[in-house]
Amino acid sequence: MLKNNGRFLSTSIVLLTFAHLYTTPMSAQTLHPLHLFEKNRVIASYALLEEDEEVEIDDSDDLDAIKDEVADWTYRVGDEWSKKVLGRSDLRNKKLEFVEVLRRTAKATAKVAKGTGFYLGQFNGFHLIATNYHVHIRLVNEPEDYKEIEFPFLDLSFNSGRIFGAWLEIDLALFAINVESKWDRKILQSVAKNFSFDYPITRNQKLLTVGFGRAKNHYSDMAGTWDSDCKVFSGDNEFKIKYGLDEKGQKAGTWAFAVGCDASDGDSGSPVVTRDTGDIIGLLWGVAPKTPIAQSSQSLDNMIKENSPEIWKNLNYAVPAAKIKEFLLEKIKSGAITDKVERKTILAFLGVDPSS
């Protein structure tokens, strides 16, 4: 909270719409050492302060607290910001037809560094977490600060373990957590769910997401969204590569489909889940700067009716599960992943018999 101690901060509007940039594609054994930015990627930083506004702060506050008070409109999709901090009562709310889907998803979702990840299950003896390529950078560069992987609704936390790969083209990182207790393994298994690699992604498909986005959520609690705009906007199984420039000025791209779910910095790596069935059909990675057309639910409906090109410019984006499987199988077949344990674990994750 802001306290009145007579100190003021005079600021002017600053809008930094940065997003993560990655290097050109690399093999599973290569980890990215840098943390850069570019447009059309996940928004990494917003500094949004009212012009010439005087805001009282004290030593216990930071600028992020001020940003969070005003930043939600820059991320909003549709008429209103619908993402809400989740409490245990939400996971028992029988008025929600999809409460069981929400409950399992929330329990399996973990805070990973400054972003989000989720528990997939045990494969080849390893307990795997999925997150974004750019989120795992902190695990690599600052392991002592971000080694703890926290599951708020399980009241459990684990140290991060072996990294099995990180791939730019699908903005995915797979890593293990170290689970020692038999009881903890049992709890994790009760909420485990892998990607539904073969599940169709169709326009107007109703979705929900949960993550640790910080807009209107200064303490980075887990928040969820499932409003009427939280659905698939791209066509049936329509996937495109979203391009940006890497640090060498070369094009680099990531597979995507378009969604209308509210998301902000910190939601990177969130599961994109079908509201009706609970299938994980994607991995949230991209937040585009919002224009007025994307902040009107009526305009959003018109986008779909007209199959507007704005769908690929002004919404949020997720990596399709189908492309994750397709890409990793190609890596396996091409010999790009040479480590035997990595190959066996990734094949198990993909549901493919290693002997086939």
Tell me, what's the pLDDT at 172?
A: 97
| pTM of the shown model | 0.81
Tokens of 331: 């890596």
* pLDDT higher than threshold 60 for residue 138: yes
Q: Whole-angstrom Cα distance, residue 323 to residue 118?
A: 18
**pLDDT for the residue 289:** 65
More confident residue, 2 or 250: 250
DSSP state letter for 346: H
Strands 18-21 and 148-151: unpaired
Is residue 19 classed exposed, middle or buried when 0-12, 13-18 and 19+ CB atoms within 10 A define those classes?
A: buried
Spatial distance between the Cα atoms of 212 and 219, rounded to a whole number of angstroms: 9
Q: Is the pLDDT of residue 5 over 90?
A: no
CB of 166 within 8 A of CB of 31? Answer: yes
The H-or-E segment that residue 273 falls in is strand 271-274
Max avg pLDDT among 102-116, 137-151, 274-288:
102-116
Choice among 67-71, 110-114, 337-341 with the minimum mean pLDDT? 67-71
pLDDT band of 22, cuts 50, 70, 90: very low
- What DSSP designation does 277 have? T
30-86 per-position pLDDT tens digit: 233 333 323 333 332 222 222 233 333 333 334 444 444 445 667 899 999 999 999
Position 210 pLDDT exceeds 60 = yes
- Binned at pLDDT 50, 70 and 90, residue 245 comes out as low
Confidence of residue 252 (pLDDT cuts 50, 70, 90): confident
User: pLDDT value at position 355?
Assistant: 75
Arithmetic mean of pLDDT, 124-144? 92
Mean pLDDT value across the chain: 82
Residue 268 has pLDDT above 70, yes or no: yes
Name the helix (H) or strand (E) containing 333. helix 321-334
If pLDDT is split at 50, 70 and 90, which confidence band does 185 have? very high
pLDDT of residue 53: 33
**CATH number among 2.40.10.10, 3.90.226.10, 3.40.50.300, 3.10.180.10, domain 90-191:** 2.40.10.10
- Domains in the chain: boundaries: 90-191
User: What residues contact 130, with CB distance under 8 A and at least 6 apart?
Assistant: 117, 118, 120, 172, 173, 174, 195, 269, 271, 283
Q: Which of 115-139 are b and which e, b meaning 16 or more Cβ less than 10 Å from the residue's Cβ?
A: bbbbbbbbbbebbbbbbbbbbbbbb
